[in-house]
Amino acid sequence: MITNADREVLGETYRNATMAVESIYSVIRKVDDEDLALDLNRQVGKFVAISDKAEDELLKAGHWPPEYAMGKVALKAGIMRKTMRDSSCGHIADMLIQGNTKGIIETTKILNEHPSAKKTYCEMAEELIAFEQKNIERMKEYL
C-alpha cells in the first residue's frame, strides 16, 4: 500500500529528475565545449536512473507517474528564450545551477511536508538532492 505522502515524494522525485533531463536535452545542442557536453551527458544518465526508479515504484503501486506536459513546454520555451542571445558555457552553467537549486528547494519542501513517507522513498529523494548539489559545484567551474 502506498500512502499519499509516498506518492508525493515519489512524484516530486520523478518530476524533478524528468525536468532536469528535459532541461539538459534543451541546452546540450547549444554547447560547444566538449567538457561541458560530457558533464551534461553524465548528468542525464544519473537523472534518468533516478527518474526510472521513482517511476517503477509508482507503477508497482498502481499509480501512473505525474504528467507535466505544460511544464515541459514552458521549460523548453524559457530555455530557448534565455539562450537566444547568450549560449556561452558560463550562461548555460548559470542556468543549470539555477535549475538544480530550484530542484533542491522543491524536493526538500516535499520531504519536509511528508515526514511519514516511506524511508526508501525519502532516501531516493535525498539521493537526487545530493546529486543536484554535486552538479551545482561542477557547473561553477564553467562560470
Confidence of residue 66 (pLDDT cuts 50, 70, 90): confident
Q: What percent of the chain has pLDDT over 70?
A: 97
Q: Where are the domains of the chain?
A: 4-140
Q: Which residues contact 59 (CB under 8 A, 6 or more apart)?
A: 65
Q: How much is the pLDDT for 61? A: 93
**CA 63 – CA 112 distance, rounded (Å):** 22
User: CA-CA distance, 72 to 57, in Å (whole number)?
Assistant: 22
- pTM summary value: 0.92
pLDDT band for 1, please (50, 70, 90 cuts).
confident
pLDDT at position 68 over 70: no
pLDDT value at 131 more than 90: yes
Q: Which residues contact 122 (CB under 8 A, 6 or more apart)?
A: 9, 111
CB 84 within 8 A of CB 78: no
Query: Which DSSP string do the residues of 21-73 spell out, in sequence order?
Result: HHHHHHHHTT---HHHHHHHHHHHHHHHHHHHHHHHHHHHTT-PPPP-HHHHH
In CATH terms, is domain 4-140 a member of 3.90.550.10? no
Residue 76 clears pLDDT 80, i.e. is over it:
no
Specify whether the CB–CB gap between 106 and 134 falls below 8 A.
no
22-31, 74-83, 97-106 — which is least confidently predicted? 74-83
- Residue 115: phi and psi, rounded to 5, are -65, -15
Q: Is the pLDDT of residue 52 over 70?
A: yes
